[in-house]
Amino acid sequence: MSRVLVTGATGFVGRHLCNSLAALGYGVVGTTRSTVSDSASENYELRTIGDIGDDADWGAILEGVDYVVHLAARVHVMRDVERDPLAKFRRVNVRGTEQLLRSEGMRKVKRVVYVSTIKVHGDLTGVKPFSSSDSPSPSDPYAISKLEAESLVQEIGAEVGFDTTVIRPPLVYGPGVGGNFVRLLNMIGKGIPLPFALVKNSRSLVSVQNLNDLIRECLTNPSAAGERFLVSDDQDVSTPELLRVIAMAMSRQAHLLPVPSAILSFAAKLLGRSTEVSRLLGSLQVDIEATKRTLDWQPPVSMTDGIQSTVAWYQEQLTNA
């Protein structure tokens, strides 16, 4: 039985991935920063690693591991108050990754799948979607650190002798999601009018089911070695369309107001929320044709079904609250 190490196992993506890999018969060991018992899950082992940095000890955790999925990271912070944000991101995302990959146990690992971010290409697209052949253009410290980590993964892989695959996802949603996506669910569920009826953008999203299906494919598919892949649901939507799909899954009506985007941008700037609002007004599309062609892979879950499962989880949380 092949054994997979999943870092960041208690995060949103990690929880889904560990359970799905275990269901497929993999031996799974997940790591988390917080203290837990080794038997925290009935389906897989969960080990405490502490802070991911240049002093983390991966020795015992890597014993018998065939594959590594590296999810753990310092994630994007909307309003970062750190004096030197890039240094903070680099400590975890770059030096922490190097500490893992240079550990002695990595010499027996067959492949590392590194989950990066679409932000290494930028925050918004113009006339065409991002593609895997585009030159990176990171615009914030988080994205810079993730791109640096990508290069490090491939460099150390060539040096130590394991295969590498990089995946760059856009916004990931699904059961257990947090952040702005849950805020949208809350507002639609409460029937709050939203000022986005006139927005004409196009955005790529990926359900956690589709992302994890691609991760699983990349573990063993020979064609994944040495590649960088973009991923999405392969069904782009505008902000108004997304809100209507969510409302439909809730058996509600989306109340959208016709406010010009220029006014929304101006108001967001006054409130110090330009970055958040730009995600709702601007476009970010990814082209996954190369991913589908190289791996002979298709996203197994439609966006509509992905939203439906997310809403079902959200409504269950409300019922149990």
CB 145 within 8 A of CB 90: yes
List, edge to edge, every strand of the sheet that includes 111-115: 45-48, 27-32, 3-7, 67-70, 111-115, 163-168, 228-230
Q: What single string gives the DSSP state of each residue in 78-128?
A: TT---SSHHHHHIIIIIIHHHHHHTSGGGGG--EEEEE--GGGS-S---SS
Beta bridge partners of 171: 205
CA distance 63 to 65: 6
CB 21 within 8 A of CB 2: no
Beta bridge partners of 48: 32
CB 195 within 8 A of CB 257: yes
Q: Nearest Cα to 308, choosing from 252, 254, 249, 251? A: 249
If you search the block for the tokens 């979607």, which residue do you land on? 129
Catalytic residue among 26, 114, 142, 173: 142
**Catalytic: 67?**
no
The torsion region of residue 291 among left (phi > 0), alpha (psi -120 to 50) and beta comes to alpha
CA distance 90 to 126: 29
The single-letter DSSP state of residue 136 is: P
The sign of the CA dihedral 205, 207, 210, 214 is: positive
Catalytic residues: 142
